[in-house]
Amino acid sequence: MSRKPVAREKLLTAFEHLVLAEGLRSATLDAVAARAGVSKGGLLYHFPHRQALVDAALARCEELAAADLARLTASPHGAAREFLATSLYEDSPLDRSLGVAFRLVQAREPGARATCERVADGWYRAVLEDVQDPVIATAVQAMGDGLYQQASMGLLPDGESEKQEVLARLLDAVDRLHRTAPDDAAPASRTCERGHGFTPATAS
């Protein structure tokens, strides 16, 4: 697979930075070009209009989420435990991309909500395939979403050991839920009865 043009990636990264640091209204084409150190003509070559930039940012989010999903499903610990264990906001490329997607949802940008729903649904299905119980899968995703939101807003304890203690308690809760699940729990289904999303967090 060929590498994406460096200028294009710099422009996307600049757009992300401006959206997260200064807000969506500040991420004008001129501001993005200036932040990236690319000429306005160079920006328009890759993104002829603002919607093209928004669409590319959402596409990047889905690409990063797909890579994360592959990692979840390959984890020897199981997708449910891995989903929770990696729900601490760490300012990773995926974290920043999700933060931008959340802002775009809040601004009612076309395609943003559908992107977030597809990402969340992929994670939900992976967890469901692991635990084989839709109630537990929903509980795991809600725990992960809540943990992620608190971490992204700086509401978790500052110390790493304290954060890991919070995580350990949640993982223990998942294990207890799994042990007490009825034997006749509904089997995993490839279609969701309702949308499983996450609550947009305000990225810093």
- One-letter amino acid identity for 166? V
Specify the pLDDT at position 82.
92
Annotation: CATH topology of 1-48 = Arc Repressor Mutant, subunit A (1.10.10)
* Residue 4 predicted with pLDDT over 70: no
Q: Can you tell me the mean pLDDT for 121-129? A: 97
CA distance 4 to 7: 9
pTM beyond 0.85: the answer is: no
Per-domain boundaries in the chain: 1-48, 57-204
Give the whole-angstrom CA distance, residue 143 versus residue 197.
12
The helix/strand/coil state of 199 is coil
pLDDT at 137 > cutoff 50: yes
State the average pLDDT over residues 130-155: 91
Report for 38-52, 82-96, 138-152: range of highest mean pLDDT: 38-52
Look at 174 and 113; give whichever has higher pLDDT: 113
